[in-house]
Amino acid sequence: MSNIIEIRSRIPENIFDYQQLLDNLSQYGNIRNCIGRLLDSGEIIRIRKGLYTFAEPLRRSPLCRELLANLIYGPSYITADYALSYYGLIPERVTVLTSVTTGRSRSFTTPFGVFSYRNLSEALYSPGATLETSGQSPFLIATPEKALIDRVWQDNHFSGTTISGYDAYLRDDLRLDFDRLRELDFKRFQEFADARDSRKIDNLVKYIKPHMEKPNNE
């Protein structure tokens, strides 16, 4: 019978993979049965195939769902709705962690929520990611400018063919905080738009440009 306290002492991270589990169960005979018992007892939790965490009482810090999003499927980083909520650009609390990846689009339903990944080409994927930290957990997330562009780019229900159409879309559909928008870097918006070569994104940048200019009395 495996000793979960001993296993916990040898795996420093909250999140670990199948190989780490094998390495630390080698002395326990039938490893597959041992893993099955640990899962059945709830002492470890399968996040997805090949990725695990310890039960909450055994974790050394709160589980970081943003880090989980990076680890569940990669390469990837958080963007779109979840990132916009994270930065306070939209008021809604977003439960699905939305990411972009250079791999194929996928979605994972886990004990810790739903994680959604949308494909983006290598050229469009690389710019715009930044490193943030929650507690002691670093994770990759889009800059707020890239998150908004990814959100608009991914929305198949909005054509963005006219500049005027963005007013209702950003204010009513996304409920974008325009005060927070003014705090962002317009040059980044322009750089990301130039890389994407899309009329839809060009129209977004043309629409937000005057809204990002500070009033004369500021």
- For helices 186-196 and 199-212, give the axis angle rounded to 10 degrees: 170
Q: Which helix (H) or strand (E) holds 42?
A: none
CA distance to 39, 76, 185, 195, per residue, from 192 (Å)? 44, 18, 11, 5
Say if residue 151 is in the same domain as residue 99.
Answer: yes
Q: Which residues constitute the domain of residue 52? A: 4-58
Q: What is the pTM of this model?
A: 0.91
Beta-carbon contacts of 85 under 8 Å, excluding residues fewer than 6 positions away, are 92, 93, 94
The structural domain count of the chain equals 2
Say if residue 102 is in the same domain as residue 147.
Answer: yes
User: What pLDDT, on the 0 to 100 scale, is given for residue 216?
Assistant: 44
Say if residue 116 is in the same domain as residue 137.
Answer: yes
Say if residue 46 is in the same domain as residue 112.
Answer: no
211: left (phi over 0), alpha (psi -120 to 50) or beta: alpha
Residue 161 lies in a domain: yes
The residue among 39, 58, 77 that closes a domain is: 58
Residue 139 lies in a domain: yes
The residue among 58, 75, 100 that closes a domain is: 58
Say if residue 106 is in the same domain as residue 32.
Answer: no
Say if residue 91 is in the same domain as residue 193.
Answer: yes
Helix, strand or coil for residue 69? helix
Say if residue 152 is in the same domain as residue 73.
Answer: yes
pLDDT top residue among 98 and 2: 98
Report residue 20 as tokens: 């780490």
Residue 31 lies in a domain: yes
Alpha-carbon distance 104 to 100, whole Å?
10
Residue 136 lies in a domain: yes
- Give, in degrees to the nearest 5, the angle at Cα 83 between 70 and 59: 45
Of 174, 169, 172, which is closest to residue 207 (Cα–Cα)? Answer: 169
- For helices 31-41 and 18-25, give the axis angle rounded to 10 degrees: 110
Say if residue 91 is in the same domain as residue 191.
Answer: yes
Say if residue 47 is in the same domain as residue 81.
Answer: no
Residue 12 lies in a domain: yes
Residue 217 lies in a domain: no
- pLDDT by residue (tens digit) across 81-140? 999 999 999 998 899 999 999 999 999 999 999 999 999 999 899 899 999 998 889 999
Residue 218 lies in a domain: no
CB 61 within 8 Å of CB 135: yes
Say if residue 18 is in the same domain as residue 86.
Answer: no
Say if residue 204 is in the same domain as residue 176.
Answer: yes
Alpha-carbon distance 61 to 73, whole Å?
22
Say if residue 52 is in the same domain as residue 126.
Answer: no
CB 72 within 8 Å of CB 66: no
The residue among 40, 58, 76 that closes a domain is: 58
Sheet holding 51-54, edge to edge: 15-17, 51-54, 44-48
In which band, very low, low, confident or very high, does the pLDDT at 3 lie, cut at 50, 70 and 90? confident
Residue 140 lies in a domain: yes
In which band, very low, low, confident or very high, does the pLDDT at 218 lie, cut at 50, 70 and 90? very low
Q: What is the DSSP code string of 94-120?
A: P-SEEEEESS--EEEEETTEEEEEEE-
Alpha-carbon distance 162 to 102, whole Å?
29
